[in-house]
Amino acid sequence: MTGAGKYWRVALGAIVIAGLIVVPANFNRYGLFILSQWAVMTIAAMGLNLTLGYAGQVSLAQGAFVGIGAYAAAIMTSQGMPLIAALGVAVVLCFSVGWILGYPALRVQHHYLAFVTLAFSTLAFLVFRNEDWLTKGIYGISNIPRPNIFGFATNRPLPFYYVCLGSLGIVSVMVWWLIRSPWGRAFLALRENPIRALSLGIDTRRYTLMAFAIGSALGGVAGALYAPLTQYVDPVPFNLSLSLDLLMMVIVGGAGFFFGPFLGAMIAVLLPEWLRFTEGYYLMLYAIAVILLLIYSPTGILGILDRSLAERRTKIASARRAVAASKLETAP
């Protein structure tokens, strides 16, 4: 990447972040709810992107982890405990359960693994629905309070939007650090060629479990924000379709790309609003768009961008090589 390109990227990033902070100040209640939902779903999708996009382990259970996080937050904060404690519990719980769910991945891969995680997803849904003593079953938990942060109440939509956005910021920095660390490289090796990775001393077993555990923990973080966002939690939002939605966000945005989940969650959360004028046809249009995208670019929207950048780089490099070759020929 050239120096000028880097400045442009930093400038673009600063504009987007400033925009996300300033522009929503004028939004109405509903607009802020949608945008907060985008931030929360992006966190969950980032977790899945780590497991699926970077480490290559298929999971259809991310929605269940959002559910575990949401119920942890709902139960604890309605007992008067602070959200930050609930967040800690959600992270530890999802990390541990995710670690255990990683064990099948050591034995089975691809669609077989998808089926194992799908079974877990169904199991979690049944627990949410049937264990009335803990989750209040189909009636759900209502009046979930929003937190006080450093003495500021975040009951109103705008302050709570900033809670979601701030959380997204923190999670983004952590995930960015993780994927550029040697761990990120090991995850990639795990996805691309596990046999070679093993022969280079990479403990693929430990990294596979870690990829599951960390990805699931981020699902828990998203859930712990989801509960105070909607202020009402029942089992329905955490059924299999949420896992499928999150999978779609990762794949449409671009699996294995850092910004994929941001884009994917934007399309999944905002597109229904923009396509509202089409009335009943929204799902059909969305389905057609996704099918066309996956035919044209199986690596998602960022995959298209990545391909065109790579093409440009190759062109520049071969032009340079041609110049170097002609100099070599004309040299005395």
Q: Which residues from 10-39 bind another protein, rule CB under 8 A? A: none
Q: Select from 51-59, 65-73, 191-199, 233-241 the region that touches another protein (CB under 8 A).
A: 191-199
196 forms part of the interface with another protein (CB under 8 A): yes
203 forms part of the interface with another protein (CB under 8 A): yes
1 forms part of the interface with another protein (CB under 8 A): no
304 forms part of the interface with another protein (CB under 8 A): no
Applying CB under 8 A, among 78, 109, 122, 204 the residue interacting with another protein is 204
Q: What is the 3-state secondary structure (H, E, C) of the chain?
A: CCHHHHHHHHHHHHHHHHHHHHHHHHCCHHHHHHHHHHHHHHHHHHHHHHHHHHCCCCCCCHHHHHHHHHHHHHHHHHCCCCHHHHHHHHHHHHHHHHHHHHHHHHCCCHHHHHHHHHHHHHHHHHHHHHCHHHHCHHHCEECCCCCEECCEECCCHHHHHHHHHHHHHHHHHHHHHHHHCHHHHHHHHHHHCHHHHHHCCCCHHHHHHHHHHHHHHHHHHHHHHHHHHHCEECCHHHCHHHHHHHHHHHHHHCCCCCCHHHHHHHHHHHHHHHHHHHHHHHHHHHHHHHHHHHHHCCCHHHHHHHHHHHHHHHHHHHHHHHHHHHHHHHCC
What's the rounded Cα separation, in Å, for the pair 146 and 32? Answer: 15
Task: State the minimum distance, in angstroms, from the CB of residue 164 to another protein.
Answer: 26
Task: State the minimum distance, in angstroms, from the CB of residue 92 to another protein.
Answer: 18
Applying CB under 8 A, among 34, 149, 158, 198 the residue interacting with another protein is 198
188 forms part of the interface with another protein (CB under 8 A): yes
Applying CB under 8 A, among 6, 29, 111, 180 the residue interacting with another protein is 180
Task: State the minimum distance, in angstroms, from the CB of residue 203 to another protein.
Answer: 5
Applying CB under 8 A, among 142, 148, 181, 308 the residue interacting with another protein is 181
244 forms part of the interface with another protein (CB under 8 A): no
Applying CB under 8 A, among 199, 279, 295, 332 the residue interacting with another protein is 199
Residues 6+ apart with CB under 8 A from 268: 41, 245, 248, 249, 252
Q: What does the per-residue mask of binding to another protein show for 121-160, with x meaning CB under 8 A?
A: ----------------------------------------
Task: State the minimum distance, in angstroms, from the CB of residue 199 to another protein.
Answer: 5
105 forms part of the interface with another protein (CB under 8 A): no
Task: State the minimum distance, in angstroms, from the CB of residue 198 to another protein.
Answer: 4
Q: Cβ distance 287 to 293 under 8 Å?
A: no
Query: Which residue(s) pair with 141 in the sheet?
Result: 233
165 forms part of the interface with another protein (CB under 8 A): no
Task: State the minimum distance, in angstroms, from the CB of residue 78 to another protein.
Answer: 35
178 forms part of the interface with another protein (CB under 8 A): yes
186 forms part of the interface with another protein (CB under 8 A): yes
Query: Which residue(s) pair with 283 in the sheet?
Result: none
User: Using CB under 8 A as the criterion, which residues of the chain lie in contact with another protein when the complex forms?
Assistant: 178, 180-183, 185-186, 188-189, 192-193, 195-206, 314, 317
